[in-house]
Amino acid sequence: MDSGQQRLQELGYKQELRRNLSAVSNFAFSFAVISILTGVTTLFNTGLTYGGTISFTWGWFITGFFNLFLGLSMAEICSAFPTSGGLYFWSGELAGRKWKPFASWITGWFNVVGQWATTCSVNYSLSLLLQVMVLLGTGGGNGGGYLMNKYVLIGVHGGLILLQGLINCMPIQYVDFFGLLAVVWNVVGAFVLIILIPSVAIKRQTASFVFTSFNVPTDLNLPSDPYVFLLGLLMSQYALAGFDASAHMTEETKSSDKNGAYGILSSIIIAIVVGYAYVLGLSFVVIDPAMLLDSANDAGGYAVAQLFYQVFRDRYGNGTGGVLCLGVIAGAVFLCGVSCVISNSRMVYAFSRDGALPLSRVWHKVNRHEVPINAVWLSCFMAFVMALPVKYPLISS
């Protein structure tokens, strides 16, 4: 019995999951959920619309600064309470006897529903990315390219979640490979794009534009420039969220009372550094923001896709290289989805262990490989259902 398992027993829980993960593996799952390629690419339109490049170059550090301090607090608490349902259990322990039930209940439900929504958004974002890749690969929006309709899009969304669910049914030592792969994919992929895209680009922006250009959407009647800047920070915050995954994986991590905390902090620090490099790489090739956001362009208003496509087309006469670069991002988004499902399922497992979900006895059950397989499929099902009411958008949405 290592220190993490001993602490779990002191908290009143028995060891049911297989404790195989190392400190590196624990970090890997958090970094995979953060997935800077996923977050920056998915909400690049938002940052470019609200504030422009200044919301990236300065907003990234502002958001990273506060996330790091939040991570320091979470790491300290995770060290004391290394349980899979970290956030709701911590809330109950810190709230005191009187408020413990309410604090645990409200935090748990926000966390579990929020994680379902996160898995849904990641896979829906990947569906939109695949939609624009197909569109550009078949000629683009202005060249008769094929645009998936809403039924195909939802089918792709469901197929991605199904595949991620099957991966998460494997024993943890095999799923561990996908977490480690996600780290390599995000870091190497980011630096490939950071070097390749500016190198291929014929035109590049000045440092003055990148660090001082501020865009205010005139058609939305927003109250003030500071408000616009705060909206632009949503991209950075979305890209840096998800480091609580280290806490949810603690019951499968060796010496989790130490390694869970290390996983939280290391994932935030490395994501801030690598993510900022990726943000700068994109910002220096943003020549015409309005054109990138225009829904009449070849990528239907998907800014990063249009940027990559335009860079290669200007240099080589066709945008095939840009579509291949989008494939690098698509791989990162898929691996992010795999890690979202595993984190989400462990939260469902822990929450149902305390009887907080309907049919808790079903969701808490583990199979012979010590995997909470019912919690995995509940997480996948909810992530799919949440996408069904979404109105069919333009790609730029």
Per-residue 3-state assignment (H helix, E strand, C coil) for 308-376: HHHHHHHHHCCCHHHHHHHHHHHHHHHHHHHHHHHHHHHHHHHHHHCCCCCCHHHHCCCCCCCCCHHHH
Query: Is residue 392 one of the residues assigned to a domain?
Result: no
Measured CA to CA, the distance from residue 3 to residue 163 in angstroms comes to 35
Looking at residue 150, its pLDDT comes to 87
- Tell me which residue of 245, 272, 273, 271 sits closest to 260, measured CA to CA: 245
Contact, 304 vs 132, CB < 8 A? no
Contact, 39 vs 279, CB < 8 A? no
Query: Is residue 5 one of the residues assigned to a domain?
Result: no
Contact, 364 vs 353, CB < 8 A? yes
Helices (H), the chain: 3-10, 23-34, 36-42, 44-49, 53-57, 59-80, 86-95, 100-137, 150-168, 172-200, 207-212, 225-240, 245-248, 256-283, 289-293, 303-316, 320-353, 360-363, 373-385
Looking at residue 395, its pLDDT comes to 55
In one-letter notation, the amino acid at residue 221 is N
260: domain CATH number? 1.20.1740.10
Measured CA to CA, the distance from residue 188 to residue 182 in angstroms comes to 10
Q: Which two tokens stand for residue 273?
A: 């550094």
| Mean pLDDT, residues 267-281 taken together | 94
| Mean pLDDT, residues 4-18 taken together | 88
| Mean pLDDT, residues 82-101 taken together | 90
Query: Is residue 16 one of the residues assigned to a domain?
Result: no
Q: Which residues of 349-387 are buried (b: 16+ CB within 10 A; e: fewer)?
A: bbbbbbebbeebeebbeeeeeebbbbbbbbbbebbbebb
Contact, 364 vs 372, CB < 8 A? yes
Split at pLDDT 50, 70, 90, the class of 157 is very high
Contact, 301 vs 293, CB < 8 A? yes
Q: Which residues of 162-201 are buried (b: 16+ CB within 10 A; e: fewer)?
A: eebbebbeeebeebbebbbebbebbbebbeebbebbbebb
Q: Is the pLDDT of residue 396 over 50?
A: no
How far is CA 259 from each of CA 13, 91, 253, 276, rounded to the nearest angstrom?
A: 19, 21, 7, 25
Phi and psi for 389 in degrees, rounded to 5?
Answer: -75, -5
State the total domains in the chain. Answer: 1
Query: Is residue 372 one of the residues assigned to a domain?
Result: yes
Q: Is the pLDDT of residue 394 over 70?
A: no
pLDDT in tens, 121-152: 999 999 999 999 999 999 888 888 898 888 89
Contact, 252 vs 67, CB < 8 A? no
Q: Is the pLDDT of residue 238 over 80?
A: yes
Contact, 46 vs 55, CB < 8 A? no
Query: Is residue 7 one of the residues assigned to a domain?
Result: no
| Mean pLDDT, residues 30-49 taken together | 91
Q: How many CA atoms lie within 13 A of 74 on its CB side?
A: 27
In one-letter notation, the amino acid at residue 167 is I
First-to-last C-alpha distance (Å) of the chain: 50
Query: Is residue 394 one of the residues assigned to a domain?
Result: no
Looking at residue 393, its pLDDT comes to 57
Query: Is residue 265 one of the residues assigned to a domain?
Result: yes
Measured CA to CA, the distance from residue 272 to residue 36 in angstroms comes to 9
| Mean pLDDT, residues 351-356 taken together | 91
Secondary structure letter of residue 17 according to DSSP: S
Measured CA to CA, the distance from residue 63 to residue 212 in angstroms comes to 18
pLDDT in tens, 298-353: 999 999 999 999 999 999 989 999 999 999 999 999 999 999 999 999 999 999 99
Q: Is the pLDDT of residue 297 over 50?
A: yes
Share of the chain above pLDDT 90, in %: 70
- More confident site: 162 or 369: 162
The neighbour count for residue 233, using CB atoms within 10 Å, is: 21
| Mean pLDDT, residues 1-9 taken together | 86
Range of the domain at 324: 21-385
pLDDT in tens, 358-371: 999 999 999 988 89
Looking at residue 397, its pLDDT comes to 45
| Mean pLDDT, residues 53-59 taken together | 91
In the predicted model, what is the mean pLDDT of the chain? 91
Share of the chain above pLDDT 70, in %: 98
Measured CA to CA, the distance from residue 68 to residue 63 in angstroms comes to 9
Query: Is residue 65 one of the residues assigned to a domain?
Result: yes
Looking at residue 392, its pLDDT comes to 62
